[in-house]
């Protein structure tokens, strides 16, 4: 199995930029099951950056996200004989990774989370844009962009596990409602209601950082 290091920098909207081809994955999995174990490295290469992004953003820990990503691929490899193509490998491996990241987050709640690098800032910007329902990045729309990013990053950390997972998968990773429902194994209606509550919580958190006219939009 391919063991090349997980990239340190996450790519913006990675899940949106290059959707996987399910048939290609099925063919790779069939090769693996037939004894070509090296073919698993191709699946790792396809999805490791995306999984790393999600593990990082859900767990809140950059270094731990590396281990969580590796663990997700190991678990998936061990369970590969039970994989059936009723679902895509893409959502299947994401389900494994998200469950690991959420479990890690629950057992490490007291650890100090450091939010300060470029990717965390990008994450905050994306969530702030969603929460304010704004598509314009002009600097005069917010009183203090640095303060806004810090506030939204902190608010994201404060979301409970259920709402954090949904908002990361939808607003940062760009998954559709059906995909999120499959990953989290919940109804689409539940996905939408959790996402609405999460967005409202984030919006409330950033209101003090918005200009009056923006807060009323």
The arithmetic mean of pLDDT across residues 197-208, rounded, is 85
Mean pLDDT of the chain: 77
pLDDT at 9: 42
Say how far apart CA 66 and CA 55 lie, in whole Å.
Answer: 8
Residue of higher predicted confidence among 152 and 56: 56
Q: How confident is the model at residue 194 (pLDDT cuts 50, 70, 90)?
A: very high
Task: Write out the CATH class of domain 118-215.
Answer: mainly alpha
Per-residue tokens: 207: 């209101």
50 or 213: which carries more pLDDT confidence? 50
19-107: CATH, from 1.10.1740.10, 2.60.260.20, 3.90.1010.10, 3.40.50.720: 1.10.1740.10
Contact 32, 80 (CB under 8 A): yes
Q: Higher pLDDT residue, 111 or 102?
A: 102
Opening angle at CA 201, ends 198 and 207, nearest 5? 140
Give CATH 1.10.1740.10 domain extents, the chain.
Answer: 19-107
Return the structure tokens found at 213. Answer: 């006219």
Statement: residue 93 has pLDDT above 60: yes
pLDDT at 211: 54
The Cα 69–Cα 51 span in angstroms is: 6
3-state secondary structure of 176: coil
Predicted confidence band of residue 159 (pLDDT cuts 50, 70, 90):
confident
Mean pLDDT of the 26-47 span: 92
Alpha-helical (H) ranges within 3-158 are 14-17, 22-33, 40-59, 62-79, 89-107, 118-132, 145-158
Enter the tokens of residue 120.
């965390």
**pLDDT at 81 (0 to 100):** 87
pLDDT of residue 82: 85
pLDDT band at 23 (very low <50, low <70, confident <90, very high): confident
Domain with CATH 1.10.10.10 in the chain: 118-215
Cα atoms in the Cβ-side hemisphere of radius 13 Å centred on 214: 26
With a cut of 60, say whether residue 8 has pLDDT above it.
Answer: no
**pLDDT surpassing 50 at residue 17:** no
Please report which confidence band the pLDDT of residue 5 belongs to, taking 50, 70 and 90 as the band edges. Answer: very low
| Mean pLDDT (whole number) for 178-200 | 95
pTM beyond 0.85: no
Q: What is the dihedral of CA 185, 191, 194, 198, to 10 degrees?
A: 110
């Amino acid at each position: 199995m391919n063991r090349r290091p997980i990239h340190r920098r996450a790519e913006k909207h990675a899940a949106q930029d290059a959707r996987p081809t399910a048939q290609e994955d099925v063919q790779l999995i069939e090769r693996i099951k037939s004894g070509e174990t090296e073919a698993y490295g191709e699946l790792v290469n396809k999805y490791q950056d995306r999984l790393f992004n999600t593990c990082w953003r859900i767990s809140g820990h950059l270094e731990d996200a590396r281990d969580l990503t590796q663990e997700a691929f190991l678990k998936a490899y061990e369970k590969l004989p039970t994989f059936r193509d009723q679902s895509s490998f893409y959502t299947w491996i994401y389900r494994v990774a998200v469950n690991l990241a959420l479990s890690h987050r629950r057992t490490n709640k007291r650890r100090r989370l450091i939010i300060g690098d470029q990717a965390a800032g990008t994450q905050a910007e994306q969530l702030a844009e969603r929460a304010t329902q704004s598509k314009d990045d002009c600097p005069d729309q917010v009183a203090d962009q640095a303060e806004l990013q810090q506030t939204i990053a902190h608010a994201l950390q404060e979301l409970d596990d259920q709402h954090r997972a949904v908002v990361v998968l939808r607003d940062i990773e760009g998954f559709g409602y059906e995909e999120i429902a499959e990953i989290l194994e919940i109804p689409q209606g539940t996905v939408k209601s959790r996402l609405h509550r999460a967005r409202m919580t984030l919006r409330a958190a950033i209101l003090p950082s918005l200009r009056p006219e923006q807060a009323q939009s």
